[in-house]
Amino acid sequence: MGDIDKIVPEMGEEENLIAAAEHLVRALGSNKNLTSKMKRVLADLGSQLSTMATISDEGVSEIEEQLNIVQEKILSREADQSMIWDSGPDEASEYLNAADEARKLIERLDGLCLEKNGHEKELLRKAHDVLQMAMNRLEEEFRHILVQNRQPFEPEHMSFRSSEEDIMDESSIISYGDDSISIDDSFQRDSVSRTSEEFIVHLVRADVIPDLRCIANLMFLSNYDHECCQAYVMARKDALDECLFILEMEKLSIEDVLKMEWGHLNSKIKRWVWALKIFVRSYLASEKFLSEQIFGEFEPVNVSCFVEASKASMLQLLNFGEAVSIGPHKPEKLFCILDMYEVLADLLSDIDALYADKIGSSVRIEYYEVLRRVGDSVRGTFMEFENAIASYTASNPFAGGGVLHLTKYVMNYLRTLTDYTETLNLLLRNHDKEDPSSAPANMNSAMEEESLSGSLTSNFSPMAIRYRSVTSILESKLHEKSKMYKDVSLQHIFLMNNIHYMAQKVKNSELRLIFGDNWIRKHNWKFQQHAMDYERATWSSILPLLKDDGNSGSSSVSKLKERFKNFYLAFEEVYKTQSAWVIPNVHLREDLRISISLKVIQAYRTFESRHKNQISDKHIKYSADDLQSYLLDLFEGSSKSLHNPHRR
């Protein structure tokens, strides 16, 4: 170490200083008493000094000469307004090499460790200007390639047909106070496939991806990554807007949605359900793939570019879902809102994958929030359906005692909802746990009734409980409605028809799995009981006229004539009245006619056969076969009279 102390003060020139430093490094490196930390520091010093010596040898003049050549190449393209990549691969490669050379020259100048005064400082500024000029041009070329080579998005694997004329008029149940309104006997559910697989398409021509990647790589290496990403995001935002246009997803404010007529909104919702799945599963998946192809080497930039490009379009779609969810809870909207909820829930895993981590958290959080709001809307709309039935009123009795429009509406409504069993059970279960007070007021009475009949088990699903509550409300309304008929017989016909309709709807559909066989047996018994009550109310006062009182003689003949006369008058009145009544179900109508025939016609046939020799034929107005034939006119919904009866 003493020799080095003597050498250093004598070295005044730069070369001697470098030589002394090298000697110092070698001397210290050979000293075995040095710690590893000292050795590492000295090794770094030796490496740096060696680099400085190499750069110094090359000289600033050589860098300046190369920079002038690069500048000339860059400027030559500025005068030409045509796009470089349109001129062919050779032109593009030459320009990329020139831009890359400018970047490398800046690195070399920065590595000289010069004071950057005077000429050197000006040279460095010039190099940065040349690089910036090249980067501006590359940004423009990058955007041009993205736009000009965009592949048209044509979801030919999907189809959609919707017009407002095709939409069923699912009028609000509130309007059914007027029983003259007709109702479609079934609801139609749009199919929302849950098995659609991710479908990747090339949004930009595959042959230009390497060019885009090269430009991006150079811009990132040159610290122009922000400009590159900005160009990409702007180009892809436009492409995403075009995709929504192709899918006919116009930009609507919440106010626009809330002001829409139901028929128009229904059409929009159906298209939204279809478009959202295509947009997420196909387009966004392809969009993220494109971002990975171009920026895959620069994570997480590829993710942030995808998120920034797609965020506005995704929020536009979610904004529509939010608008629908905060609209009025009308029963006719429930099926469309359920479709919205199911497609949102179905795409959750896709959204989690597309917008992972903090970068995509804003979109992901908004998506979950819209899903929650749509779920709340489903629950609120179902509760409104229950409330609408409970508040149903009608000022006039239903003509003929047939099946009430309300009964058809409710049972078909419930039948269609079975397509959403899993979703409804989930939403209703969660809601009942959070807010037990939200259960309908009549649910307890309905469940107590089932418990007494021995059918209540702890395995009832939330949907089954709600369905039983709805039918309990409906039956209560039917009994109220039946009181509007003055004729007790017609009250029973009305209740028989409606309860039979309910039982058949449950028995012959998926509702059977929800209500159970015990519910069906119970309601079969109910409508049969009303059939028997009808027979008693109608014929119990007529059949005694066909019974013998045990008397004989002339007075008995007179009484026989009176009995036949009174029976005919009573039968004709029943015929006139009840031929206008209606039993829509053919089998139910025939069963009731057979039951009447077994009681009335058999009694008349026996009575007539026993006394036909006691009175003349002119007093026997109808034969048993005549009456049997007339029974076929009952419950056909067309009033008839027997003004000019005659023996057939």
Distance from first CA to last CA of the chain, Å, rounded? 146
Residue 9 has what pLDDT?
Answer: 42
| DSSP 8-state class, residue 636 | B
Please list the rounded mean pLDDT of every run of 10 residues in the chain (648 residues).
Answer: 39 59 65 64 62 55 85 84 88 92 87 64 88 93 94 64 41 45 46 52 92 94 94 95 91 92 93 94 93 89 94 95 93 94 96 91 95 95 94 88 95 95 89 52 51 50 93 95 94 97 95 94 96 94 82 66 90 92 95 94 89 78 91 88 56
Which residues have C-beta within 8 Å of that of residue 519, sequence separation ≥ 6? 450, 455, 468, 506
Partners of 582 in the beta sheet?
A: 636
Give the span between the Cα atoms of 164 and 41, in whole angstroms.
79
Distances 595 to 301, 318, 624, 627 between C-alpha atoms, Å: 82, 61, 15, 14
Tokens linked to 107: 């690195």
Residue 431 has what pLDDT?
Answer: 59
Which residues have C-beta within 8 Å of that of residue 365, sequence separation ≥ 6? none
- Please give the helix or strand (H or E) that residue 416 lies within, else none: helix 405-417
Give the span between the Cα atoms of 139 and 227, in whole angstroms.
7
Give the span between the Cα atoms of 603 and 220, in whole angstroms.
103
- Please give the helix or strand (H or E) that residue 515 lies within, else none: helix 511-515
Residue 283 has what pLDDT?
Answer: 93
Three-state secondary-structure class, residue 313: helix
Residue 539 has what pLDDT?
Answer: 93
Q: Amino acid letter at 546?
A: L
Give the span between the Cα atoms of 61 and 439, in whole angstroms.
88
- pTM for the structure as a whole: 0.78
382, 428 in Cβ contact below 8 A? yes
466, 382 in Cβ contact below 8 A? yes
Compute the chain's Rg from CA coordinates.
Answer: 45
What does the angle CA 336 – CA 338 – CA 344 come to, to the nearest 5 degrees? 105
Residue 616 has what pLDDT?
Answer: 74
Q: Amino acid letter at 79?
A: A
420, 338 in Cβ contact below 8 A? yes
Give the span between the Cα atoms of 96 and 212, in whole angstroms.
12
Cα atoms found within 13 Å of the Cα of residue 197, Cβ hemisphere only: 3
Residue 189 has what pLDDT?
Answer: 56
Give the span between the Cα atoms of 522 and 471, in whole angstroms.
13
Which residues have C-beta within 8 Å of that of residue 166, sequence separation ≥ 6? none
Give the span between the Cα atoms of 505 and 511, in whole angstroms.
7
Buried b (16+ CB within 10 A) or exposed e, 64-91: bebbeebbebbeebeeeeebbbeeeeeb
Domains in the chain with CATH codes? 2-148 (no CATH), 196-389 (1.20.1280.170), 399-527 (no CATH), 543-631 (1.20.1280.170)
Strands (E), 97-162: none
